[in-house]
Amino acid sequence: MYTSLMTTSERLIEATRELLWERGYVGTSPKAIQQAAGAGQGSMYHHFAGKPDLALAAIRRTAEEMRATAEAVLGDGGSAYARLKAYLLRERDVLRGCPVGRLTMDPEVVASDELRVPVEETLDWLRGRLADVVQEGLDSGELTGPIDPAELAATIVATVQGGYVLARASGSPAAFDTAVRGLLALLSTLSSRTD
């Protein structure tokens, strides 16, 4: 997880990211962060004002990574359908869930305007980016039908996030895969190209 080239602050951020994903905000204690990062209490408070400050840095890093991963697929060129399909089928750790989406279920994160903002901004960005791809497909004539790009984008995000929930509840990625296949089948009816 960590390399010898990582600074103490980087190790703290990475440890916090992992712990937030596994345990949520309440379950991520400063002591657990310090142990996972191999850092002392003094080091933690030297770099960060406290747990909320460190959590914010970790959430922002996770949000940036999610955006970069999505953009790598959505901005890769090709038809709109191919990019949407690639986004839906990209490699994911389905049973762990989405590191950003899971934060929406954390009462402490949702109650904090500061911690909630990067989560909200990332999900808004994702819906907007997906809507842009849908609009490109409509403009090129590749996608047809009475499609509202924002509504279809929201459907894609809801399918992915809901797929994570179903997979975690069943303990199997099959539920996620079924949701994605169902959405792809619907998307293929809107596309003149299903490459």
Pick from 134-138, 155-159, 164-168, 191-195: least confident: 191-195
CA-nearest of 90, 75, 98 to 184 is 90
For residue 42, what pLDDT is reported? 84
pTM greater than the 0.85 cutoff: yes
Give the pLDDT confidence of 98-138 residue by residue, as tens digits: 999 999 999 999 999 999 999 999 999 999 999 999 999 99
Is position 174 within any domain? yes
Report the percentage of the chain scoring pLDDT > 70: 96
With respect to residue 133, please indicate whether it lies within any of the assigned structural domains: yes
- Residue 173 domain-assigned (yes or no): yes
Q: How many domains does the chain have?
A: 1
Tell me if 78 is assigned to some domain. yes
In this structure, is residue 117 part of a structural domain? yes
Structure confidence at residue 40 as a pLDDT band (50, 70, 90): confident
Residue 1, in any domain of the structure: no
Average confidence (pLDDT) over 60-86: 95
63 is a domain residue: yes
Quick check: is 123 in a domain?
A: yes
Domain that holds residue 184: 8-190
Question: What CATH number should be reported for the domain holding residue 123?
Answer: 1.10.357.10
